[in-house]
Amino acid sequence: MKNFKYLLIMIVALALSASSCSNDDDNNHDYHLEYVGVINADLPDEFIYGQTYRINVTIELPNSCYYHYGQFDYFYEGTSRLVYPIAHVDDGVACAEIITETTFSIPVQVLQSEPYIFKFYQGEDENGQDIYLTIEVPVI
């Protein structure tokens, strides 16, 4: 029983010392995710049914606080595909006003015989409505 007490005391002491270690919080910062506009999309003239393609999409990042990690939302709307690139935006830090372009790719497996209509998000108009770069690709 005496050994059990010592073992219990050692476990509690180790747990307390482990929890008191300081974590380096310098890398933690505020950020939010935001849709960014597509400036170009490279699609083939036609798709072959059953094939898989990689579509290259070029986006514009408005300043040095925007980072793109290949993330995007991809929504189905009938035969249309809506593509919204997502940027990580640092909050509360100084940003250099440098516009950069970056390209990422989207895999598309052609599983419909109707033409694909891609709508790539480009931003919002003055009424807050989404605007798109629209490209139609027939399927053979």
pLDDT, tens digit, 9 for 90 and up, residues 83-118 = 999 999 999 999 999 999 999 999 999 999 999 999
For residue 81, being part of any structural domain is answered with yes
For residue 11, being part of any structural domain is answered with no
Please say whether the beta carbons of 25 and 51 come within 8 A.
no
Tell me the C-alpha distance between 66 and 87, whole Å: 6
**Total tally of structural domains belonging to the chain:** 1
Please say whether the beta carbons of 75 and 82 come within 8 A.
yes
User: Side chain identity at 16, as an amino acid letter?
Assistant: L
pTM summary value: 0.76
7: part of which helix (H) or strand (E)? Answer: helix 2-19
Tell me the C-alpha distance between 89 and 63, whole Å: 9
Confidence of residue 28 (pLDDT cuts 50, 70, 90): low
For residue 6, being part of any structural domain is answered with no
pLDDT, tens digit, 9 for 90 and up, residues 44-91 = 999 999 999 999 999 999 999 999 999 999 999 998 999 999 999 999
